[in-house]
Amino acid sequence: MNLYLVSRRRAWQSEEELAASSDCAPSVLATFGGDIRWVRSYVFVEEDGSFSADCVYEATSIERLEAYADAMMLPADEIRRVHVSAEASDAAREGAPGRVPDEARERAARVVRP
């Protein structure tokens, strides 16, 4: 399984549509036999009131993600495979300069290879 970021631009016209989509997603994912795992989505409101999202998935291939988008009747404007992800440590989240011990600062950014 690789990590992917899928961009869906102006995919939903209303909050109800967004809610219906989220409601349906687990059932549709279940038909993909474990080839796709939905990790998280970040939803944005566009100026025209529609909604876009950047969605993170674990998947076996881009083709499976395209098939999933088709099943969900959602656009997949861009599908990018994640190379590495960097996560802030607790210390980095909280720490102002000088407050964070050197050792913690060294661990501030944890690089995760998917």
Residue numbers of the site for another protein (CB under 8 A)? 13-14, 16-17, 19-20, 23-24, 27-28, 30-31, 71-73
**Shortest CB 61 distance to another protein, Å:** 19
Q: Which is nearer to another protein, 2 or 31 (CB)?
A: 31
**Shortest CB 69 distance to another protein, Å:** 10
* Residue with the two structure tokens 């993600």: 65
Q: Which is nearer to another protein, 16 or 48 (CB)?
A: 16
CA-to-CA distance for 14 and 7, rounded, in angstroms?
Answer: 18
- How big is the CA angle at 56 (ends 70 and 20), to the nearest 5 degrees? 50
Q: Which is nearer to another protein, 28 or 100 (CB)?
A: 28
Question: How many residues can be counted in the chain?
Answer: 114
Helix (H) or strand (E) holding 112, with range, is: strand 109-112
Backbone CA torsion sign across 34, 4, 79, 39: positive
**Shortest CB 63 distance to another protein, Å:** 16
